[in-house]
Structure 1
């Protein structure tokens, strides 16, 4: 393709050169002949200069047009406006140039027509007639004077005596204003040849006439008279002859003069046209180059490249435009950097707050969710959700859309929402805020998990109930127990019928046993209502778990107990005794849940958690926990056991809350339940202490007990 393009360019240039050479050779100078060799060289130099200028300008113009065509064909930026500017400038130049050529050609034709019109021809004819009359008059005078002198007796006497002086002839010539006269013998060749004829000298503008001298019918001699035109008329006669000859030649070359003049005008017009084309290209480049650079810069900016700058040189308003564009992009880059900083700051806030955030656009599509919502909702793919239906059930999503419609009218709408999952029921406080009131421009959905808050409120309420119930029951319980003991002692002192004695003793014993049971229940109520404050110390969680598991040695009959303690765990700040109670309570519940199971496996393990935390996992293979039970599991006085008080897990939740720890319950695979306690790691300010503690950490312990 490139080779074909070069061949085409070479062919066009060759055709232009040949055309110009032929055109230059067509300039004919007619009968012009230089008078000196220097003029020949000057004429050749001028012709060569004209030819070279024509070829150069033609090549430049052809290059301009060809480059515009190639750029426009290739879709180069700025080629269209550059083409329009060049073509517009050439069109504006063409009109006055054509008008100039036509006007000059018209004036030249009118001038030539005036030169060769009838009056001019008559003037030239009259001038020629006057010149001829003057010559005729001079000839006639010369002949008349010659005949007059030939008829004088003195002339015949002079012929007969040729040695006699002729002063009378000079006097006669002066008197008659004759230029010169000579008397010649009869045998003179000039006299014989000039009888009755005239001879003229074009160099001196003089005429010669001869007349015979007759005697007795015979020619004895001749008189020759030279008559000269007056000196004041000689130059005028020469000019008249030269002008007449030139005019006659111009008349013959009139058509050629018109053609040459038209060619000269065409050459001037082409020169102006070529120069105009080059200037138009130059000016178009001055305009289109900054515009093309601005277009490319705009495309780069549209792609997000705000660091792009226009480096092209521009002047006047275009220079101001380029400078303004560079300042604008610099400001945009600074603003984008500032917005990016604010965005990162906002994202950091959204990712760090414990409240779930959902950004919804005007069409209801989910734009963004934060980390808290991902941790709050149990299903996978929360961060990649695009619709509310991907996050919530159909009923819950419809409820949130209803809140969005309310928020569009009022600006803000709130409502409690119970979200049922496979694990538990979440009590959520949902608040929807419209970006713009009364306009559908987007919404921000704020979701807060109030399950722990509700549980804490219920726990606090049950604690107060337990305190009052324990106080009210404990007061009459002591007299009842004392009275039952007195009845038993009384039966030992008196004699009753056997049946009555046995019945009385059984009743008294039952009263004492139930009183003791009620007393234990009252003690648990009292303990739940006023649990002692935690006294945390930095310790190893594995040691606390191992100490708690020692309590169950030999007690878990028919249960396979697996203890896995992960080494290298960070230290924790906890109350060891209270955490032992937490572990013992969880293990007791797990063991009791597996009473009706065929495979009874209890696994207790520790592992690193997320965000500098440590986890304790207690998993069983029992009957499991239903979703409704999971939601109420940590409330006081709720129990899945027939004789349970419902205070064990409530106490566990209370202890963990004091340690800023958390607990979650999940389904174990393939069956059973799994309790996970997450404890924050203790902050160790000194690295040396951290290293010392790390050296004392126990290695992995795996124990299998079978009882």
Structure 2
């Protein structure tokens, strides 16, 4: 070990010993009280003075050595001199400032400790604690007297009555005592261990004054922090309900614990008051002890700081100069290997860390350059993929502005979207309604996503391009949230797919209707007319002839109606456009439910409507058909079940500002639910699980929903607990977002 290092360790140990001696004795003696501190103060002062003298000698020797090194021009002497000056400045100036402030603070604080206001505050605190305990005792005494009167009115007492009374009073123990102080009935936590009987004097006082209370367990601080704890014991005479002299006189005793914090604080205030009176007598000695301790601490701190700066400055200077040279090389761009200071202390570790950091910086720079090249390649690859996608892709930032757009989006929407980067989608001519619908769908998904749409949503939009009504396209749009509140929208033109599906579906509808329904109708009609022709002349009674004519007329008229129904189904593909007008959805629900009176009376059909639902923009006739189809399908699904139940409800969701967001029509049943293969194709014609169904119900619902810009969802309800594992029913919901004059309601739509 070098000489300078040994010097440093020796000085450090000397300083640590001196400061430790001062602090250890001061703290230990102060903890034992002022009298112990004052008794040891004199020899403690001279010991620390001797340590200060030794430090001064070391300081003089170190200063002489530093001056010689500086005159000889040795490397690092200037830095060592600066370090010594800085350490001395840092040690002396703050120490002197702290000493002056501490001196004034101690002098004035000690005088402030013994101010008359402090004494009055202690007196007031002691009186406050006594008054608080007395108030608690008086309050319990009053409650006990009232409880005794209530017991007298009841006429009979038992453990249950006393237990209830104990819970009402918040007490630990409630006891009914006899005339000789024996326990009659008791309730509480100590009932099993035996009830402590009150003193006879306290019992006599309670009988004379009707009630009495006393505080127990405050004899010393030990009883407060351990044992049963302080408590209030209150006794009250129970008035006799009869005039018999032979009836035994009873006394009600209630024991309630006192808050440990309150009683502990009262004892602390009392102890502080006694200690304050003792400190007044030793005020001057206490002031002298504190100031002497401050002076010794200042001298030791300043001498130790300056001496350590001189002795250990050389050890600090060498690695610092090495680091300075290494930093200069790094600043010039040289990230090669750097020298390391051979030492096990923190400074040597710092040079090793600097060398490791330089090596890591070189590796990181190489990796960063490689990552930049990979990032540029990935960006180019991603842009190439986006440019060649047939689907449209638009990325929106958190402010709903267009951030990224691919050529497919420009081709499908037939608009120069690239020119609107940084602007809203609604600013593009002709896309305002489309943008509003898309963002409504984003908000709906964020507020209450449907089952199966937790990560993204999917919906179809009708978009009209230009002024002509027939110049429109159908878009299948998928939306998903991105990090940072950004949004991704991917869409494709499915106009031709939808048109082909509709043509094929309704061609099959027309073929089946003509084959299964229309062909038998003409023979039925001819057979009925032939029966009328053959039997009319053979019936002698005029009433029989009239009945025959009416029956044949009924058959013929119903056959004609069936033919008309077939024609209407055949023409369904050319269903006229919806005639939109303000519609009260709740009124339409009431009209349709009037057709199912029996189901409602039997409890199989229940309606729950939102009275605050606004008016929709819709076609009343088509919406009635939607409600009728959904209710009929639900009743058919749970038919035959004794607990069959169909719930028809309307539900309104609002924006944070109170405006209507979405109005949902839900039909829920407790039937077997949708089969998986049917659920995927539920909206296609002739997809049904009914033996006699046509499969057009949900297809009609989907068609009308599209006409109204509404979305349709079907879900199976989760299985019930303890069931067979199958679904607990099904739910079909329509979500409408097109309203008429928010907040205003018109007269209900007249029944059709």
Q: Same-fold call, TM > 0.5? A: no
- Range class of TM-score, shorter chain: 0.3 to 0.5
TM-score by length of 1: 0.37
TM-score by length of 2: 0.35
Larger radius of gyration: 1
